[in-house]
């Protein structure tokens, strides 16, 4: 290569802009601080794995096969409701656990079952004792298979048909209800936390930015609203309205958003007179643009540290209402309902212990994550 050509190549390489970083130096430092808290970091991944598994609950615990090959046709009963007529029966809902359906499918193809062959509402009619029954690993082989016609040699006495964590007082599989109940609890907590944050952050931003009479009137309203007995009001409204996921979400949202207002309001009161805000006003930038584009990112730093704790509190509140009978509709998989069953069936300690252990693990993981998030956004660690 000639000298001019090599010089041009060097200039081209030098002029090439560096690769754009995905994270700013500040956010990269926060992520490193989050990872430095090993307990919170691993709790975050464990919680994500558990939540991901619960999102695919239909593929883990279900009374329908995941995949069926019948007469050369592939069917997915876990997602599609096929009538019994499809398998030579009547025009009715297909019970894939019945002997007739299983023999028909096995004679003309095959099927793949989930690891647990029960859904949260499936009643096990082949339990060895009256419900509630203990986990199968606490019983001998002959005892756990005694309800099947051929006993231990019965082909239906397999791990998928056994109750890993026993059954409740209605002969429903505890493990299946635990998986579905975990999903409902986390989804409810996430929805309540996000909606509460949206309302609370907006209210706090308006108060802190405009100040004056706006701040005074809204602050008096929040003081009155927060002084109301929220638990009793929740119980009264939940007893009047028909139970449901969105009804309960709306009722709890009435009071949950108040906790975000004070933090955001204080941040906006502190930052609204900064030089960059005055410069934006001098350039003619609108108030709402200044609030949500320039001030809000700084105010959200303090708010984000509260989110894991608000999430854990939302889950605990839902569990408490379910325990009292004012939560989800009857029959819904719920950790609170499982705790209530443990209280009502002291002779079946696996019910209460399973629910208590699940709640303890879930709330502990969220608390550890919250501590790690707090350390990540600590300015003494981020800007040192």
Residues 229-246, mean pLDDT to the nearest whole number = 81
How do the domains of the chain map onto residue ranges?
63-113, 125-162, 174-382
pLDDT digit string, tens, across residues 170-225: 889 999 999 999 999 999 999 999 999 999 999 998 988 888 898 899 999 998 98
pLDDT digit string, tens, across residues 16-34: 444 455 767 777 888 888 8
**186 phi and psi angles, rounded to 5 deg:** -70, -45
pLDDT digit string, tens, across residues 33-86: 888 889 999 999 999 999 999 999 999 999 999 999 988 889 999 998 888 888
DSSP per-residue string spanning 80-121: S--BGGGGTS-SSB--TTSHHHHHHHHHHEEEE--SB---TT
Bond preceding residue 42 cis, omega within 30 of 0:
no
Strand ranges in the chain using DSSP code E only, listed in sequence order = 67-70, 73-75, 109-112
Global confidence as pTM: 0.84
pLDDT digit string, tens, across residues 278-325: 888 888 888 888 888 888 877 777 788 888 888 888 899 889 888 888
Q: Residue ranges of the alpha helices (H) in 283-348?
A: 287-289, 296-304, 307-324, 335-344
Does the pLDDT at position 8 exceed 50?
no
- The fold of 174-382 is MetI-like fold (1.10.3720)
CA distance 144 to 331: 26
């Amino acid at each position: 290569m000639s000298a001019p050509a090599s010089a041009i190549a060097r200039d081209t390489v030098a002029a090439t802009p560096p690769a754009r970083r995905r994270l700013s130096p500040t956010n990269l430092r926060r992520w490193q601080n989050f990872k430095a808290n090993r307990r919170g970091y691993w709790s975050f991944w464990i919680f994500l794995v558990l939540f991901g598994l619960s999102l695919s609950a239909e593929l883990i615990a279900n009374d329908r096969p995941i995949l069926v090959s019948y007469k050369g046709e592939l069917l997915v009963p876990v997602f599609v409701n096929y009538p019994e007529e499809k398998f030579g029966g009547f025009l009715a809902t297909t019970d894939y656990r019945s002997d007739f359906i299983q023999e028909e499918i096995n004679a003309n193809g095959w099927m793949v079952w989930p690891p647990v062959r029960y859904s949260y509402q499936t009643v096990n009619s082949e339990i060895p004792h009256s419900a509630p029954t203990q986990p199968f690993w606490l019983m001998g082989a002959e005892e756990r298979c005694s309800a099947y016609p051929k006993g231990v040699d019965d082909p239906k006495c397999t791990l998928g048909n056994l109750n890993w964590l026993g059954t409740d007082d209605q002969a429903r599989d505890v493990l299946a209800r635990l998986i579905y109940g975990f999903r409902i609890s986390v989804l409810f907590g996430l929805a309540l936390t996000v909606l509460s944050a949206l309302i609370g952050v907006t209210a706090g931003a308006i108060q802190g930015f405009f100040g004056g009479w706006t701040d005074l009137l809204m602050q008096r309203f929040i003081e009155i609203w927060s002084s109301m007995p929220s638990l009793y009001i929740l119980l009264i409204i939940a007893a009047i309205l028909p139970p449901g996921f969105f009804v309960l979400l709306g009722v709890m949202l009435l009071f949950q958003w108040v906790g975000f207002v004070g933090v955001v309001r204080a941040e906006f009161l502190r930052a609204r007179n900064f030089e960059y805000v005055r410069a934006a006003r001098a350039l003619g930038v609108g108030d709402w643009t200044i609030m949500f584009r320039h001030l809000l990112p700084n105010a959200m730093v303090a708010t984000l540290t509260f989110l894991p704790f608000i999430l854990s509190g939302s889950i605990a509140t839902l569990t408490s209402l379910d325990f009292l009978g004012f939560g989800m509709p009857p029959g819904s998989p719920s950790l609170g309902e499982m705790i209530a069953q443990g209280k009502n069936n002291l002779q079946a300690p696996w019910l209460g212990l399973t629910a208590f252990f699940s709640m303890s693990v879930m709330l502990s993981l969220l608390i550890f994550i919250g501590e790690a998030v707090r350390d990540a956004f600590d300015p003494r660690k981020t800007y040192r």
